[in-house]
Structure 1
Amino acid sequence: MIMMLPFLTALVSSAGMVSSARQVLLHIAHGDPGYGSPFLGLHFYTWALVGFFVLAILLCGLLLIDKMTPQEAADTPRHPGWLGRSAGVSFLVILALNLLSTLLECGLGPCQDNPANYLWLPGQ
């Protein structure tokens, strides 16, 4: 399973590239202002495409310099340090907050194309 992790991460970065490239291609037409406000001149879906591409390149480099055999990798014990545990906790907190904000904004059904207010908050 440990040897599969870099390959699975590369697969996930490829899926992220495909979904963000789709979003870029939806807004690439001349005169289309894009969705959302730009950050440093680019929209966030463009930044996501750049980030996933850089992640894929870094993962390919890590796979190229890895000298462990599959048996060595399976026999090496791994324990996350404080940085790994804090990264895992941060990921779960961000995931929970995104789920909560999406539920407040869209409810249980599909979201509107351009939601302007929160569906589940009173007085909106």
Structure 2
Amino acid sequence: MSTDRIALKGLRARGRHGVLAAERELGQEFVVDVTLFLDTAPAAAGDDLALTVDYGELAQALVKVVEGEPVALIETLAQRLAEVCLDRELVESVEVSVHKPAAPIPLPFGDVVVTIQRRRR
């Protein structure tokens, strides 16, 4: 695995994910962090965006997933986001964290986060 990383942190989007009907109806904000592992040396050597990952384009693709088809579990959402990242040919592996700061927990809490790591197959 390459030791180079590109991280996109704190990407915010509204989605309708959750087990409860109210979560599906009302929606809530989700926060996504992704860290891509890839070799950035060719891009740096040629100063060429085509040899790395366009993180602006990636951010738009990730937001479409969060705003898209609802799922019950944020684990499922994290998997879908990882697949979007791994669709970029240069990405060897990815770490995805999905934060659900407004999760329906009837106690004081700071955040709920699911983090997964996936590798290209």
TM over 0.5, shorter chain: no
Query: Where is the strand percentage greater, Structure 1 or Structure 2?
Result: 2
Q: What is the TM-score with the length of structure 1 in the denominator?
A: 0.25
Alignment TM-score, normalising by the size of structure 2: 0.25
Q: Specify which structure has the higher proportion of helix.
A: 1
**Larger RCO of the pair (alpha carbons < 8 Å, separation 6+):** 2
